[in-house]
Amino acid sequence: MVRRFSWFLILFFGFLGSLAPLYCETSVLTDLTFLTGWEQKVSGDPGLWALSLGRLSFSSEGNPLVKSQLVLDIKASDATVVSLYKAFVKAKLADLRLTLGKTRLSWGDGTMFNAGDVIFGSGEVDFTADELRDNTLWLGSLYWGFGPFSFVEAVVIPPEYPLLAQTVNLFTSPNQMSPPVLADPGTTSGGGRIYYRLWDVKTEGGYLFNGKYGLHKPYLSFQGALGDVNIHLSSSWDLPRDDPLGNSGRDSWEISTGLFYQWELNGGISEEEETQSAPSLLNLRLEALVKPYGSWEKIPSGTQNDYALQLYPEVSWKSDTITVFIRSLVSPFDLSAQSTWALQWAPLQGFRILTSASLQSRETNVNGWSINLGTRVIF
């Protein structure tokens, strides 16, 4: 039943996308990924798995003052799941910009570690993804630019609607007029930030009240450059509403920092086609997350989140057809690491062959590994 309904949704939105050009300027983008892998966990036998991922995007075009987008994600393995990834409208009115819907706001700075991201925080990531952090939420924001590279922004995040409870209520008592299951307005979140460029340093400060967990979340973020090296620094706190100056608030203090350098390798002239090839890019990135009140020594049964320092090194090289990268999450205290090596080859436009290998280790012990192979088609 779920699988049939999922295919119905895909066909339905695909049909709407085919009709959209008749009424407005709309672009449709389809992204399909097919993966298979062989993995070995800490205990148990090696296992083989397969996964199909799809993303269907509808984006408005033609009006520079209004932008809207609808993005559906489809995941198929043992079962098929269709989810709404984005659905938003952005409108520009002079110096004001209004955003409503399910989307993402980028606060603070950092690819892997970003203490300034008080909206989404830091969760698990997919090291093989193009973007490590791409979570979205239902929200409304108002942006006002008051100068070059200067603005203020306010955001409101409505409470999560208990859709599951409402669905269970409907199916368990279909013939009874049960009261609707409503979201708790007290779990509404909101806040704002100010962005200002002071000399050559981007300075950003903000605050968010998380109504779901009752937390005050102030933060500061700075970004600048030393020569060709980009540098960023962010700091934040999670202060409980009932005891903002207590130990839990103190222990939540996080500092993230990072360096990024991009080296452009000159392209060459093809003798056969007599055309200038695009330059390739070598990217070097190093980020760190510091928890001053975390553990500064090895804990026998500790996890990476228990320690005061985590590191994220990344090296990537990208040309017209080949992308190679190495990404790792390292804990210096217990010498544990999660590393991913990936090679992507695009022999044809819109078509990629994906290969990757991952390794989890602690000191000299291997806790798990995986090897993945797949294809990706964008059209």
End-to-end Cα distance, the chain:
29
Contact 140, 100 (CB under 8 A): yes
pLDDT tens per residue across span 185-240? 778 999 999 999 988 899 999 999 999 889 999 999 999 999 999 999 999 999 99
Residue 240 located in a structural domain: no
Range of the domain at 73: 52-88
Give dist(CA 135, CA 133) in Å, integer.
6
pLDDT of 2 reads 39
Is there a single domain that holds both residue 132 and residue 69? no
C-alpha 196: how far from chain center:
24
Domain membership of residue 195 (yes or no) is yes
Q: Are residues 105 and 187 in the same domain?
A: yes
Count of domains observed in the chain:
2
Give the residues of the chain that fall short of pLDDT 70: 1-24, 161-183, 267-277, 301-304
Distance CA 158, CA 250 (A): 28
Does residue 61 sit in the same domain as residue 158? Answer: no
The answer to whether position 201 is within a domain reads yes
pLDDT the model gives residue 201: 92
Q: Are residues 161 and 76 in the same domain?
A: no
pLDDT at 356: 94
